[in-house]
Structure 1
Amino acid sequence: MESNLLLEQQRVREMMKFIQLEIAKLEGDTTKLKEDVIHIRKHFWDEVRVSTDSFDDYMETIIGLRQEAQALAIRQSTHRHAGERLDALKRLQHIPYFGRIDFKEEGTDQTEPIYIGVATLTDPSGEDFLIYDWRAPIASVYYDYEPGPAMYRIPDGGNIQGELEKKWQYIIRDGELVSMFDAGVTIGDEVLQQVLGQGTDKQMQSIVATIQQEQNRAIRHDKGKLLIVMGAAGSGKTSVAMQRIAYLLYKYRDTVTSDQILLFSPNPMFSSYVSNVLPELGEENMQQATFQEYMRDRIDEQFKMETPFAQLEYVLTKRDSPNYPVRIAGMKWKASVACFDYIQEAITRFGTEGMAFRDIRFRGRILVNKDQIAKRFYSQESTMRFANRLEEVRLWLESKLKGFAQNERQKPWVQEAVDSLDNAQFYEAQVALAKQKGLRGDDVSDVEVDEKDLARLIVQRRMNPVVKAVHSYDFVDWTGLYCQLFDVQSNGNVTLPKEWKAIGAMTKKTLDRGHIFYEDATPFIYLKEAMLGFASNRSIKHVVVDEAQDYSPFQFAFLKQLFPSARMTVLGDFNQSIFSHSQDSNEFSLLTTLFGEEETSSIHLAKSYRSTKPIVEFTKRLVPNSYPIVPFERDGKEPVVEEFTSKTTLHAKIVAKVNQWKEQGFTSIAIICQSAKERKDVSSVLGETMDHVLITTKSNEYEEGVVVIPSYLAKGIEFEAVIVYNASDKVYGDESLRRTLYTVCTRAMHELIVFSLGPKSHFLEE
Structure 2
Amino acid sequence: MVKESQEQLEQEHLDKILKLIRQKERALDKSIDSAQSEAQNLNAHFFDDVKLDYDGYSTSMDTALSIHQQQQMLQERQNAWQHDTKQLSTLQRLEQKPYFARVDFKEKGEDKPETIYIGLGSFANNEDHFLIYDWRAPISSIYYDGKLGEVSYNAPDGEQTVEMTKKRQFLIEDGKIVNMFDTNEQIGDQMLLNVLNEKSSIQMKSIVTTIQREQNKIIRNTDADLLFVQGSAGSGKTSAIMQRVAYLLYRYRGNLNSSQVIMFSPNQLFNDYIKNVLPEMGEQNMVQMTYWQFASRRVPGMNVETLFEQFEDDHEDKDIVKLKDSLQFFNAITHYAKHLEKKGMLFKNIYFKSKDKPFYSKDKVKEIYYSFNENYHLRNRIEATKEALLNSLSHRVEPETKKAWVSKTIESLDQEELNKLYDHPDQEFESSAKEEHFLAKKIVIKQLKQVSRKINQNRFLNIRGQYLAFLRAVPKLIDLSKWNISQQQWEDHLERVKHRFIERRIKMADISAYLYLYDLVTGRRTDYEMRYAFIDEIQDYTPFQLAYLKYNFPRAKFTMLGDLNQAIFTKDESRTLLGQISKLFDSEKTEVVQLTKSYRSTKELTEFTKQILRQGEKIEAFDRQGPLPVFYKRDNLEKEYHALESILSENAEQDLTTAIITKTLAEAQAVARALKEQKVKATLIGSANQRLVPGTLVMPSYLAKGLEFDAVIAWEVSEDNYHSIDETQLLYTITSRAMYKLDLLYTGEKSELLDNLDPKTYRNK
Change (3 A) 1:253 1:444: farther
Work out whether residues 104 and 114 of structure 2, in 8 Å CA contact, stay in contact via their aligned partners in 1.
yes
* 1:231 aligned partner: 231
Work out whether residues 342 and 494 of structure 1, in 8 Å CA contact, stay in contact via their aligned partners in 2.
no
Q: Are residue 487 (structure 1) and residue 459 (structure 2) matched? A: no
SS of corresponding position for 1:387: helix
| Pairwise CA distance, 1:409 | 2.8
- The one-letter code sitting in structure 2 at the alignment partner of 1:606 is T
Moved more, 246-255 or 686-695: 686-695
| Pairwise CA distance, 1:457 | 4.6
| Pairwise CA distance, 1:482 | 0.5
Work out whether residues 538 and 564 of structure 1, in 8 Å CA contact, stay in contact via their aligned partners in 2.
yes
Q: How does 1:418-567 map to 2 (within 5 A)?
A: 418-419=410-411, 421-423=412-414, 427-431=416-420, 433-434=421-422, 437=423, 450-460=435-445, 462-488=447-473, 490-491=475-476, 495=480, 497=483, 498=485, 499-567=489-557
- The one-letter code sitting in structure 2 at the alignment partner of 1:741 is L
Looking at structure 1, the residues matched to 564 and 419 of structure 2 have their Cα atoms a distance apart, in angstroms, of: 65
- The one-letter code sitting in structure 2 at the alignment partner of 1:370 is K
- The one-letter code sitting in structure 2 at the alignment partner of 1:389 is R
| Pairwise CA distance, 1:632 | 0.8
* 1:318 aligned partner: none
CA deviation string 1:337-387 (max 9, x = no partner): 011011112112222332222233330213343333333333332342112
Work out whether residues 575 and 586 of structure 1, in 8 Å CA contact, stay in contact via their aligned partners in 2.
no
Looking at structure 2, the residues matched to 488 and 55 of structure 1 have their Cα atoms a distance apart, in angstroms, of: 70
Work out whether residues 550 and 582 of structure 1, in 8 Å CA contact, stay in contact via their aligned partners in 2.
no
Q: 2:666 aligns with which of 677, 681, 690?
A: 677
Q: Are residue 22 (structure 1) and residue 24 (structure 2) matched? A: yes
Q: 1:651 aligns with which of 641, 646, 653?
A: 641
SS of corresponding position for 2:702: helix
Q: Are residue 381 (structure 1) and residue 369 (structure 2) matched? A: no
Work out whether residues 486 and 501 of structure 1, in 8 Å CA contact, stay in contact via their aligned partners in 2.
no
SS of corresponding position for 1:588: helix
SS of corresponding position for 1:206: coil
Looking at structure 2, the residues matched to 186 and 474 of structure 1 have their Cα atoms a distance apart, in angstroms, of: 60
- The one-letter code sitting in structure 1 at the alignment partner of 2:307 is P
Work out whether residues 732 and 761 of structure 1, in 8 Å CA contact, stay in contact via their aligned partners in 2.
yes
* 1:609 aligned partner: 599
Q: 1:42 aligns with which of 35, 41, 44?
A: 44
Moved more, 248-257 or 734-743: 734-743
Q: How does 1:310-459 map to 2 (within 5 A)?
A: 310-315=309-314, 324-326=315-317, 328-362=318-352, 363=354, 364-419=356-411, 421-423=412-414, 427-431=416-420, 433-434=421-422, 437=423, 450-459=435-444
Structure 1 spans left out of the alignment, 5+ residues: 316-323, 438-442
Q: How does 1:84-163 map to 2 (within 5 A)?
A: 84-126=86-128, 128-156=129-157, 158-163=158-163
- The one-letter code sitting in structure 2 at the alignment partner of 1:614 is E
Structure 2 spans left out of the alignment, 5+ residues: 757-765
CA deviation string 1:613-663 (max 9, x = no partner): 111111111223122111111111111223333111111111111111001
Looking at structure 2, the residues matched to 652 and 63 of structure 1 have their Cα atoms a distance apart, in angstroms, of: 81
Looking at structure 1, the residues matched to 389 and 67 of structure 2 have their Cα atoms a distance apart, in angstroms, of: 51
SS of corresponding position for 1:373: helix
SS of corresponding position for 1:476: coil
| Pairwise CA distance, 1:583 | 4.2
Matched pairs, number? 742
Change (3 A) 1:661 1:288: same
Q: 2:745 aligns with which of 744, 755, 762?
A: 755
CA deviation string 1:227-257 (max 9, x = no partner): 1111111111111111111101111112111
* 1:291 aligned partner: 291
- The one-letter code sitting in structure 1 at the alignment partner of 2:160 is I
Q: Are residue 11 (structure 1) and residue 13 (structure 2) matched? A: yes
TM-score, structure 2 as length reference: 0.93
Work out whether residues 228 and 560 of structure 2, in 8 Å CA contact, stay in contact via their aligned partners in 1.
yes
Looking at structure 2, the residues matched to 616 and 49 of structure 1 have their Cα atoms a distance apart, in angstroms, of: 75
SS of corresponding position for 1:96: coil
* 1:661 aligned partner: 651
Work out whether residues 614 and 638 of structure 1, in 8 Å CA contact, stay in contact via their aligned partners in 2.
yes
CA RMSD of superposed structures (Å): 2.2
| Pairwise CA distance, 1:313 | 2.0
Moved more, 6-15 or 487-496: 487-496
Work out whether residues 632 and 643 of structure 2, in 8 Å CA contact, stay in contact via their aligned partners in 1.
no
CA deviation string 1:405-424 (max 9, x = no partner): 432332333333333x152x
* 1:253 aligned partner: 253
- The one-letter code sitting in structure 1 at the alignment partner of 2:205 is Q
- The one-letter code sitting in structure 1 at the alignment partner of 2:258 is S
- The one-letter code sitting in structure 2 at the alignment partner of 1:409 is T
- The one-letter code sitting in structure 1 at the alignment partner of 2:386 is R
Looking at structure 1, the residues matched to 66 and 329 of structure 2 have their Cα atoms a distance apart, in angstroms, of: 65
Q: How does 1:695-714 map to 2 (within 5 A)?
A: 695-714=685-704
Change (3 A) 1:62 1:641: same
| Pairwise CA distance, 1:462 | 4.9
Looking at structure 2, the residues matched to 444 and 525 of structure 1 have their Cα atoms a distance apart, in angstroms, of: 50
SS of corresponding position for 1:753: strand
Work out whether residues 668 and 686 of structure 2, in 8 Å CA contact, stay in contact via their aligned partners in 1.
no
Change (3 A) 1:302 1:68: closer
SS of corresponding position for 1:469: helix
- The one-letter code sitting in structure 2 at the alignment partner of 1:759 is E
Work out whether residues 228 and 569 of structure 1, in 8 Å CA contact, stay in contact via their aligned partners in 2.
yes
* 1:269 aligned partner: 269
